[in-house]
Structure 1
Amino acid sequence: MSGLTAVTALAFGATLMAAPSASAVGSSACTENIKDATLPVVQWDHADMYTSPSFKSKVKKSVFAGNKVRVYCTAKHGSWYYGKFGKTKGWMEEHAFF
């Protein structure tokens, strides 16, 4: 039984290594990865970063206009972006950037 567990663990680890970069940042809601993008916040005076791609989710941080967010992927047909500002990772709606 332990041999099967080791094989399963190795297979799982190999799958993680081969997964797209969005998986590496911890978001299962991503539908499309973005390669090397940093976007400035342009919405009003600030935009909120949420725990999931929904206005009903918890706000993790407010990012003020002019600050740049490293984005990794999108969800819901590009209307939400998953990214990182400082040490905080979360979701921001597209109008924060465009």
Structure 2
Amino acid sequence: MPFSKLPFRKAVSGVTAAAALALGATLMAAPTASAVGSSACTKNIKDQTLQVVQWDHADMYTSPSFKSKVKKSVFAGNNVRVYCTAKGGSWYYGKFGRTTGWMEEHSFF
């Protein structure tokens, strides 16, 4: 009996195909990380890197508000890649390492 006609091979092929379809559907339905957080952007910035200058650290938030959850603390001297601003330029949306979020303008200036 040829290998391709063995019941085990058919079962493995079926499971592999089902897993690939499920993963593809999940990836298509899930929004990208930047699309979710950046939805509050009002002005785009052409790929700029800013250095944190606050005394000790600056917090990165889930939305452009001090009432939102802190995602990460970025220490002074570290660079953050920024993509856009909100609320008249008083908040910057950017990325530090693998974390994206909002930082208040005084973090940088």
TM over 0.5: yes
Question: Counterpart of 2:97 in structure 1: which amino acid?
Answer: G
User: Are positions 1:96 and 2:107 aligned together?
Assistant: yes
Provide the secondary structure at the position in 1 that maps to 2:106: helix
User: Are positions 1:67 and 2:78 aligned together?
Assistant: yes
Provide the secondary structure at the position in 2 that maps to 1:25: helix
Query: Equivalent of 1:77, from 74, 85, 88?
Result: 88
What's 2:54 paired with?
A: 43
Gaps of 5+ in 1: 1-22
CA change 1:64–1:24 in 2 (3 A) is closer
When you count helix as a share of all residues, which structure comes out higher? 2
User: Are positions 1:87 and 2:98 aligned together?
Assistant: yes
Q: Considering only aligned residues, what root-mean-square deviation do their CA atoms show, in Å?
A: 1.4
In the superposition, the TM-score normalised over structure 2's length comes to 0.67
What's 1:25 paired with?
A: 34
Q: How many residues align?
A: 76
In the superposition, the TM-score normalised over structure 1's length comes to 0.75
Poorly superposed stretches of 4+, deviation over 6 Å: none
Gaps of 5+ in 2: 1-31
